[in-house]
Amino acid sequence: MTTRIDIRFAELAKQGRSAFVTYVMAGDPDLTTSLDIVKALPKAGADVIELGIPFTDPMADGPSIQAAGLRALKAGMTLKKTLELVRDFRKDDNVTPLVLMGYYNPIYIYGVDKFLTDAKTAGVDGLIIVDLPPEEDDELCIPALKAGLNFIRLATPTTDDKRLPAVLANTSGFVYYVSIAGITGAAAADANVVGEAVARIKRHTRLPICVGFGIRTPEAARAIAEKADGSVVGTALVDALKNSLDAEGRATAKTVNAVAELTAALAQGVKGAQQAAE
């Protein structure tokens, strides 16, 4: 099985370039604006899109992404509408990889089999589910692989060499290295420390390794891009979105551009990186 993720990373490897991965919350601040934002991301330079599934109790997220999820839910977002958003995005973009990221409960309640069928049909390429470690692979990971979706696992600073093989066993698409022990929006990790961690994981897998958590600026993205196959930015984009809203938390004429402009600046940073010699 080859997904848009596999194809994209193969292309980037050929170009000798690190991927720029953007995270935004589906339905933030409302469905229409959110679709416009997602459509704008590839044009602004995003190589891979991570789309958050809103959840009331995101226990690995900091205040910015918590608030984004609550804005989306307040505006009526659901998992069903998230899949509709993906389907609408796919009408004019059949190449940019799209990964859904979130927590298990909404998927469990939607029904795993139905969700996998609907997600695949809508044009989802992979899943990152924060609260499904390898110990729970039977729940969603194995069925997702069977359904032709990538299951992208998080590896963290606490995942030692003994545990890495278990974490990597059913991982596909790419590996998401969480650069710090912490929640989204926390302080950044030192690029050199990250580089060592990436090298350590590389000894166990040939999958691309993207690094996220704590990357906010073009300079930071560039530093990470020199050490890894991709850098993920989420909280900074969500903050840019939030700062463009009106006092009632509604979208303004500036909202889509605010996210697109920061995306472009970050993408520029990533593209300026000297890829580490393989």
Partner 1 sequence: MNIAKPNSYRSGPDDRGHFGNFGGRFVAETLMPLILDLEKAYTAAKADPAFQAEMNGYLKNYVGRPSPLYFAERLTEHLGGAKIYLKREELNHTGSHKVNNVLGQIMLARRMGKKRIIAETGAGQHGVATATLCARFGLECVVYMGAVDVERQQPNVIRMEMLGAKVMPVQSGTRTLKDAMNEALRDWVTNVHNTFYCIGTVAGPHPYPTLVRDFQSIIGNETKTQMQEIEGRLPDSLVACIGGGSNAMGLFHPFLDDPSVEIFGVEAAGHGLTQLHAASIAGGRPGVLHGNRTYLLMDADGQIQDAHSISAGLDYPGIGPEHSWLHEVGRVNYLSATDDEALAAFQLLSRLEGIIPALEPAHAIAKVMELAPKRAKDHLMVVNLSGRGDKDVPQVGDILRGKSK
Beta pairing class for 126-129 and 98-102: parallel
Residue 112 touching partner 1 (CB under 8 A): no
Give the separation between CA 227 and CA 75, rounded to whole angstroms.
39
Binding residues for partner 1, how many (CB under 8 A)? 44
Residue 170 touching partner 1 (CB under 8 A): no
Q: Which residue stretch of 17-25, 53-61, 247-255, 267-275 sits at the interface with partner 1 (rule: CB under 8 A)?
A: 53-61
Cα-to-chain-centroid distance, residue 97: 10
Taking alpha carbons only, the member of 44, 43, 46 closest to residue 23 is 46
Cα-to-chain-centroid distance, residue 18: 15
Give the separation between CA 142 and CA 195, rounded to whole angstroms.
30
Residue 153 or 216: the one with the smaller Cβ distance to partner 1 is 153
Residue 17 or 133: the one with the smaller Cβ distance to partner 1 is 133
Q: CB of 110: closest distance to partner 1 in angstroms?
A: 7
Q: Which residue stretch of 18-26, 175-183, 217-225, 231-239 sits at the interface with partner 1 (rule: CB under 8 A)?
A: 175-183
Residue 157 touching partner 1 (CB under 8 A): yes
Which one among 31, 35, 44, 107 touches partner 1, defined by CB under 8 A?
107
Q: CB of 90: closest distance to partner 1 in angstroms?
A: 22
Give the separation between CA 144 and CA 132, rounded to whole angstroms.
12
Beta pairing class for 98-102 and 150-151: unpaired
Which tokens in the block code for residue 222? Answer: 């560039």
Residues that bind partner 1 (CB under 8 A): 54-63, 66, 73, 78-80, 103-110, 130-133, 135-136, 153-160, 163, 167, 178, 181-183, 186
